A and B are shown apart, each in its own frame.
Chain A
Amino acid sequence: MIELILADRCTRCDICVRVCPTNVFDAAAGEVPVIARQGDCQTCFLCELHCPVDALYVDPDCENPRPADPAAIAATDWPGQYRRDSGWGRWRGRHADESWRMDGIFAIAREQLSDG
């Protein structure tokens, strides 16, 4: 579930408020948005993907809140990893989209399985 908005990175653009499919955030005029409905978070990480400044952190636990320490999280590459691996923003052109390999990978898996 969504755990953190890193205040020193957040530019108050409110993109997360708009794009969250389950309406987890509330805008707060001129302030960092508020995680108003954490229990509605569907742990899809799409807010991280859409945040241009890597200011959000979603813990992978989808059932229980797991409070996280902002300084510890800021020291990791986690808040920006989805964006980086998707080649969005400043990563554009540096992480090629290889999703077209999925069909081939499925085929390799099935072949391995049927060979025992």
Chain B
Amino acid sequence: MSELDLDADVLVLGGGLAATWAALSAADAGATVVLADKGYCGTSGVTATAGVSHWLVPPERRAAAMAERRSIAAGLADDAWMARVLDETWRRLHAYDLPFPAAVNGRRPYRTIRGPEYLRAMRRLVKRAGVRILDHHPALELLADADGRVRGAAGVRRQHGGGRWRVRAGGVVLATGGCAFRSHLLGARGNTGDGLLMAAEAGAELSGMELSAYYTPAPAFSTITRSMSYLFGTYVDSAGRELDLPPAEGRVEALARALLEGPVRVRLDRMPVAIRERLRRVQPNFMIPFDRRGIDPFRDLFEVTLRGEGTVRGVGGVRVAGPDCATTVPGLWVAGDAASREPIAGAVSGGGAQNSAWAVSTGTWAGAAAARAVPEPRHRLRPLGRAGMRPVAATSALSAEEVAAAVRDELNPYEKNLFRTDAGLRASLDVLDALWPAVRGGLRGSPVAIREAAALVAAGRWAYRAALHRPESRGMHRRTDRPGPDPALTTGLHIGGLDRIWHRYAPVPREAVAR
């Protein structure tokens, strides 16, 4: 086993879209930067497996784009944040040579880009900027000085015999992604909410955790959660009756209700032939599962499912407490899906386009702000990791794997998460709350698996506790016992704490903006 001890101005945790934009921004500001990723920077994170569209709007159309989003955000978004994100995303995407598709009719399409090529290019840019990349170096915990200011992190070198690493830094950017609750969402196995747990241990607040009920179709046996083609589907139930799904609003809920009755099959026969023929060049991974099962998805019926996206395409995460993406903890900034996206998405998912713009712009701001923090190498640092790291009792008989499976079984079923009720949420919280002492006591498994299990339990408890304390339906948070929004709850819902969870309603911060 070999140990690694480094000093840097900025430490970025994560290796996906937000992390790479943060590292680039910090390095461009003149900082020495270390990026530590759980996986491989270039394939990690949900963007690497997808094709993303950016919320990229030319200046003259921004007012209309913002008005459109404001009309669906259910009162929880902020115009000033939307304007800033649009502005920064536009600037950043034009500033670097990224592998956007070749020019079409003389115009380079900057909006859409394929994930594997995007992250491969981001890795190159980050390396060229002088950032030191530590692949397969999962972070386990943050480190703080005596005043509680975050000044580094520590973790495991999982391809170096499990030796430990430690980086001391002036500022830390959390860009560890959202929590997908082990749903088999494409590319999201490592998205276990590690950053949320680490931030909460440092005292950070979360927000929007109840906004975590977004679902995407996929073949029942597969991870390929690419929603586009499913809009061309004919859906039938087990009796062979065609389902009458609404075109937009309520479509996913209707499909989920049918799935609760029994298997649903689909064929994508409404897709125009011209699109079928070029689908492989638009989404090169879409046909893989069908080819390998001998299914012609445009002719044959195949079983479909809905996979939960947790806080990935959901909204919740660490609360952004300032325009530079500071958290409420000094020394700690947050970016991408690890940050609550409420300021631009409100109560609905930002979809691919807003989410990638959020990663680009918050990564940029968090990286630049962390680069302004001054490292103090002489400080004595205190490790903040608790659950699953510093057991408070004898090791429990449970394994990390069993705990992760239990969380998955509470946070993914449609009847529990998509169609929420007071009684259902309380029943799930009983299960999740009962897991917490076991997690605090220590589980069986590798250090990384144990921390992932702890983060999954913590994120699940925040999500459902917040859902319980929002007795209304708003955006993607649907309470079947409380249909419709309650005007009194047009408010943010902050949450935090681990052994004892607290929550607080807070007015949506609105920066003065000229409409």
* B residues near A61, Cβ cutoff 8 Å: 221-222
How many residues in B have their beta carbons less than 8 Å from beta carbons of A?
A: 59
Q: Does B309 sit at the interface, judged by CB under 8 A?
A: no
Q: Does B2 sit at the interface, judged by CB under 8 A?
A: no
Q: Does B196 sit at the interface, judged by CB under 8 A?
A: no
CB contact under 8 A between A21 and B39, given known A100-B112, A113-B231: yes
Q: Does B40 sit at the interface, judged by CB under 8 A?
A: yes
* A residues near B282, Cβ cutoff 8 Å: 98-99, 101-102, 105
From B42, B221, B283, A19 is in contact (CB under 8 Å) with B42
Q: Please tell me if the beta carbons of A60 and B221 are within 8 angstroms of each other in the complex.
A: yes
From B116, B117, B159, B280, A23 is in contact (CB under 8 Å) with B159
* B residues near A113, Cβ cutoff 8 Å: 231, 247-248
From B222, B272, B284, A60 is in contact (CB under 8 Å) with B222
Q: Please tell me if the beta carbons of B275 and A108 are within 8 angstroms of each other in the complex.
A: yes
Taken together as a complex, chains A and B put the C-alpha atoms of A97 and B281 apart, in Å, by: 6
Q: Please tell me if the beta carbons of B184 and A63 are within 8 angstroms of each other in the complex.
A: yes
Count A/B pairs, Cβ under 8 Å: 150
CB contact under 8 A between A100 and B109, given known A78-B292, A81-B288: yes
Shortest distance between the CB of A21 and any CB in chain B (Å): 3
Q: Please tell me if the beta carbons of B284 and A86 are within 8 angstroms of each other in the complex.
A: yes
* A residues near B112, Cβ cutoff 8 Å: 99-100, 102-103
Shortest distance between the CB of B117 and any CB in chain A (Å): 7
* B residues near A109, Cβ cutoff 8 Å: 228, 231-232
Q: Does A38 sit at the interface, judged by CB under 8 A?
A: no
Contact with B along A3-23 (1 / 0, CB 8 A): 000000000000001111111
Taken together as a complex, chains A and B put the C-alpha atoms of A114 and B251 apart, in Å, by: 12
Taken together as a complex, chains A and B put the C-alpha atoms of A108 and B276 apart, in Å, by: 13
Q: List 19 A-B contacts (CB under 8 A).
A: A19-B40, A21-B38, A21-B43, A22-B189, A22-B190, A44-B43, A45-B288, A49-B116, A61-B222, A62-B222, A78-B291, A81-B287, A86-B284, A95-B281, A96-B102, A101-B278, A106-B228, A113-B248, A114-B248
Supply 6 further A-B pairs (C-beta < 8 A) apart from A21-B38, A23-B158, A60-B221: A19-B42, A23-B136, A78-B292, A86-B114, A99-B114, A101-B278
